[in-house]
Structure 1
Amino acid sequence: MAEGEEPPVSYEDLALIEAEFEDVDTEIMRKQYDLSAPLYAKRTEVTRKIPNFWPLVIEQAPPDIDQWIQPHDSRIIAESLLNIEVRRPELDNKGSGNPRSVSIKLEFKPNQDFEDTVLEKTFWHRRAKDGWSGLVSEPVRVHWKKGKDLTEGLTDGAVALWEARKKTGDMTAKTLPEYYALKKKVDSWNGSNTSFFTWFGWVSGRRWVSAEESEEANRMYLESKEKRMKAAKSEGDAAEDTNEDEDQEEENDDEAVEVHQAGEELAISFAEELWPNALKLFTQAQDDDISEIDFEDMDTDEEDEDDDDEPIDIRALVQDKGGKARSRDSTGGGAAPPSKKQKKK
């Protein structure tokens, strides 16, 4: 290189800068969680006294959540959801772990659909040995009452495969009867979403990553990062390593038996959009109540012509125009759940 000539910028230079941004974001998340925890506790204490608070918040959920809630899910949420709580389990009790791990708990009153009054799912932020990082989660069984399983056996199948793999000690095993049974169920749905509650059976967008693998991968990542800070690896070596890792991950990929298409995205939306913005979404629901009452009065004739397309939202199940709780049969017998309201864009 000629004297005074600037060295070319490499991909490694950009990757190191990106890693430094991630380190800063991690520290910000830790600090924010510590400062906001008392406020969230106070908010929970107050909102528990507000009837239908969380069903109305869910009704205003952002698209990343709303698109996965089916009409039959809306009925359960409207009738039974009592509370939502989001925690960062690796930071609880003054922990210094990864703030991107998140636990989401939904509390329900006794209902006609499942036995559980609490459904809690924890998503661990892990790093795989090939360098991939993201959320993974153990499947959670929903104890559906007879004939009520909205997931059509998908969550039960995910739990069955998980338990079978644990017995063999191989969390990527594909020769098990439970693997073939779950793959058949997933194939029969051809990627369509049966129910929001299928989310509780989600494991990973790629494959399960254990805490032990993640710990070792993080150690290797930090060592590699320190080396790159001193001298960047050659592009040829990096490309060769990546190709080998990709080949191995393709063999272990569990997409064929994953019961939910967007488990990680849904968890992040709950933690970073719905949970922190709950008060704003609840207020928005009250404002929409006023404007939509006027709209419905003006459009009564048109709606009568085509009742099947009537946009009834969660509020139609939990509240009448006067703000009182509405029974299941108040919409005309309650034989079938109403169509879900289209969100305002």
Structure 2
Amino acid sequence: MVAAADKGKRSKVEDGVESSDPVDGELVLAIEKLQEVQDELEKISEEASDKVLEVEQKYSEIRKPIYSKRNEIIQSIPDFWLTAFLSHPALSDLLNKEDEKILKHLVSLDVDHSDVKAGYSITFNFSPNPYFEDTKLTKSFSYSDEGTTSVTGTTIKWKEGMNIANGVAHEKKGKKRPIAEQRLVSILDFFSWFGETQDKSPSSMIFDEVAEIIKEDLWPNPLKYFNNEADEDDFEEDEEDDEDDDEEDEEKGSDEDEDDEGGSG
């Protein structure tokens, strides 16, 4: 009853009705002051985020000539990107034999952060090959102020009889599934990733994660994968967590079935 009365008094104060209790007035004033402080903190956080983006943008520009220099050196190393992809514990699991043949023609890989706030793009540059007419395949991710992401990709111009990105399932060669979304009955061809845009199917979830892995892991230091120095522990831990969740779900379902049987008896 006391709590209800106090609540009634506070609601009157909030509605603009003066209260005879000075304690309620002090409480409202304290809350108003607290809100002012929170607003000030939020403003500072927004300014900090803008400054961080400015710094990221600055160093993104500084890195560009270094990345260009790296690309020139990489092009002198046979099958560099193919080896790096095959050595990556997550990306290698998405590649089939046909993908590997195509990646032998990959001469450079670029991640463009020209405007870190607006988004990024990933570009695969190929030498002339028997599979498609394109020499450049690009996947772009654009961020809006509303928090949505617009995705566009190159429509591959496959040469006659060479279209392997037709949704036909193939057996993945990896022993493990480091990405949770790889729990599909079949895995689509890796190169269908370029055509995945607005589709929100499980396969598009995989390919969105592919973009993040390339941008945040493979692109910054592909040499560690080429040299096979990558630590698989992080990927294995993620997979073990997913497996534990599955086991818990199965056990829970089994217990519920037993309860149902007991109740019916």
Please say whether Structure 1 and Structure 2 have the same fold, judged by a TM-score greater than 0.5.
Answer: yes
Quickly say closer, same or farther: Cα 1:80–1:201, change in 2 above 3 A.
Answer: same
Are 1:80 and 1:108, in contact at CA under 8 Å, matched by a contact in 2? yes
Are 2:102 and 2:131, in contact at CA under 8 Å, matched by a contact in 1? no
Correspondent of 2:108 among 83, 86, 104: 83
Runs of 4+ in 1 over 6 A off after TM superposition: 9-15
Are 1:101 and 1:125, in contact at CA under 8 Å, matched by a contact in 2? yes
Deviations 1:95-154 (A, max 9, x none): xx4445222221223333323232123322223xxx2233x2223211223333222169
**Which stretch shows the higher mean deviation, 2-11 or 16-25?**
2-11
1:195 and 2:219 matched = no
Quickly say closer, same or farther: Cα 1:74–1:140, change in 2 above 3 A.
Answer: closer
Q: Distance in 1 between matches of 2:112 and 2:95?
A: 26
Q: Distance in 2 between matches of 1:38 and 1:277?
A: 16
Give the match for residue 2 of structure 1: 26
1:191 CA drift (Å): 8.4
Q: Distance in 2 between matches of 1:48 and 1:261?
A: 31
Q: Aligned ranges for residues 1-345 of structure 1 at < 5 Å?
A: 1-2=25-26, 5=30, 19-61=46-88, 63=90, 65-67=91-93, 69-88=94-113, 91=114, 97-127=115-145, 131-134=146-149, 136-152=150-166, 192-204=186-198, 255=200, 260-284=204-228, 345=236
**Which stretch shows the higher mean deviation, 27-36 or 10-19?**
10-19
Q: Distance in 2 between matches of 1:150 and 1:15?
A: 50
Q: Distance in 2 between matches of 1:38 and 1:123?
A: 23
Report SS of the residue matched to 2:60.
helix
Q: Give the letter aligned to residue 112 of structure 1.
A: P
Q: Give the letter aligned to residue 141 of structure 1.
A: T
Are 1:29 and 1:99, in contact at CA under 8 Å, matched by a contact in 2? no
Report SS of the residue matched to 2:137.
strand
Q: Distance in 1 between matches of 2:135 and 2:226?
A: 23
Are 2:138 and 2:153, in contact at CA under 8 Å, matched by a contact in 1? no
Give the match for residue 7 of structure 2: none
Give the match for residue 173 of structure 1: none
1:11 CA drift (Å): 9.1
Are 2:89 and 2:235, in contact at CA under 8 Å, matched by a contact in 1? no
Are 2:124 and 2:137, in contact at CA under 8 Å, matched by a contact in 1? yes
1:44 CA drift (Å): 1.1
Q: Distance in 1 between matches of 2:30 and 2:61?
A: 48
Quickly say closer, same or farther: Cα 1:262–1:51, change in 2 above 3 A.
Answer: same
In terms of Rg, which structure is larger? 2
Q: How many residue pairs end up in the alignment?
A: 192
Identity in percent: 28
1:78 CA drift (Å): 4.7
State the TM-score, normalizing by the size of structure 2.
Answer: 0.58
Quickly say closer, same or farther: Cα 1:198–1:23, change in 2 above 3 A.
Answer: same
1:49 CA drift (Å): 0.9
Q: Distance in 1 between matches of 2:42 and 2:221?
A: 32
Cα RMSD between the aligned structures?
3.7
Q: Give the letter aligned to residue 109 of structure 2.
A: I
Consecutive unaligned residues in structure 2, runs of 5 or more: 1-24, 169-183, 237-265
Q: Distance in 2 between matches of 1:191 and 1:82?
A: 32
State the TM-score, normalizing by the size of structure 1.
Answer: 0.46
Report SS of the residue matched to 1:284.
coil
Are 2:127 and 2:135, in contact at CA under 8 Å, matched by a contact in 1? yes
